[in-house]
Amino acid sequence: MNTEYDFLFKIIFIGAQQTGKSYTLNQIVGRNGQTDLYTPTIGIEFVIKQMQISLQNKAYKIKLQLWDTAGQERFKVIIRDQYRSASGIFLFCNVCDLESFQKCSALIEEIRKNNKECTNVMLVGNQIGSQRVVSVDELVTFAQSNNIMFTELNTENSDNENNILERMVKYVIHQVLLDKENAKLTKQEDGILI
Ligand SMILES: Nc1nc2c(ncn2[C@@H]2O[C@H](COP(=O)(O)OP(=O)(O)O)[C@@H](O)[C@H]2O)c(=O)[nH]1
Ligand SMILES: [Mg+2]
């Protein structure tokens, strides 16, 4: 049994350029000493972060692989592979940049094609700039119609970087535990004791 951590999750950051993916990732790991930074050579880099999460009166030791993407066309194939193995996906847009929001639809399509469920996605509305052009309502509607989670960064009453990570990780653990529970139920229904 591995006692170093209870779960290892891979979480990826995607979205148009200049939406704050790298900035947010740096903020997340900058507050924690236990990091290893791999310099980008192929348009993607990952950082390791360890954290403890309390969920339903239980504490879990989590090891995270946080993957940053650069989004250029030539890295598309590599990024596609990431969707398949990701436990969670942060989809970034900048609420001051309409194009970055419009790009989210195509990215959701890409995720759907490559990631069976597509329920582990969180839309992150980031505000870089002073002139907001995408409203909260538009973001919420988009998230609801695509059945994904939603959060804002950098705006009034918004989450901070570590909150969104914790929220994502809790969601992913929840899903893993639920899957285990469902697997158990199925087996019991089949009359097999486990
Ligand atoms: N002050 C501030 N600047 C930000 C924030 N997020 C992103 N930026 C800036 O916006 C620009 C684009 O951010 P970056 O993380 O490189 O975007 P990426 O292309 O999505 O990785 C950079 O100049 C960042 O310093 C933020 O939360 N606060
Ligand atoms: Mg970047």
Q: What is the pLDDT of residues 113-167, one digit of tens each?
A: 887 665 689 999 999 999 999 999 999 999 999 999 999 998 877 889 989 999 9
pLDDT value at 9 more than 80: yes
Q: Work out the average pLDDT over 45-73.
A: 86
Rounded to an integer, what distance in angstroms lies between the CA atom of residue 87 and that of residue 100? 23
Exposed (0-12), middle (13-18) or buried (19+): which is 61, by Cβ within 10 Å? middle
Q: What is the pTM of this model?
A: 0.87
Q: Provide the strand spans (E) within the chain.
A: 7-15, 44-55, 58-69, 88-94, 121-126, 149-153
Please give the pLDDT value at position 192.
Answer: 42
| Mean pLDDT for the chain overall | 83
User: What pLDDT, in 10s, does the model give residues 20-50?
Assistant: 998 899 888 874 444 444 444 455 678 899 9
Q: From 176, 123, 179, select the one nearest 152 (Cα to Cα).
A: 123
Domains of the chain: 7-189 (3.40.50.300)
pLDDT value at 181 more than 50: yes
Please give the pLDDT value at position 73.
Answer: 54
Question: Mind giving me the DSSP string for 71-95?
Answer: --GGGHHHHHHHHHH-SEEEEEEET
Please give the pLDDT value at position 190.
Answer: 47
How many angstroms separate the Cα of 138 from the Cα of each of 118, 127, 144, 145?
Answer: 20, 14, 10, 11
**What percent of the chain clears pLDDT 90, i.e. is strictly above it?**
50
Q: Which residue's structure tokens are 């139920």?
A: 185
pLDDT value at 88 more than 50: yes
Residue 20 C-alpha to ligand 2 middle, in angstroms?
A: 7
Which residue minimizes the CA distance to atom 2 of ligand 1?
A: 128
Please give the pLDDT value at position 43.
Answer: 57
User: What pLDDT, in 10s, does the model give residues 184-193?
Assistant: 666 555 444 3
Kindly state if the Cβ of 5 falls inside 6 Å of ligand 1.
Answer: no
Which residue minimizes the CA distance to atom 27 of ligand 1?
A: 154
Please give the pLDDT value at position 184.
Answer: 64
Please give the pLDDT value at position 94.
Answer: 97
Banded model confidence at residue 77, pLDDT cuts 50, 70, 90: low
Residue 190 C-alpha to ligand 1 middle, in angstroms?
A: 52
Give the residue, out of 66, 128, 161, with the most ligand 1 atoms within 8 A of its beta carbon, to mutate for a pocket test: 128
Residue 15 C-alpha to ligand 2 middle, in angstroms?
A: 9
Kindly state if the Cβ of 17 falls inside 6 Å of ligand 1.
Answer: yes
Kindly state if the Cβ of 19 falls inside 6 Å of ligand 1.
Answer: yes
Residue 38 C-alpha to ligand 2 middle, in angstroms?
A: 14
Evaluated on CA atoms 127, 156, 26, 51, the torsion sign reads: negative
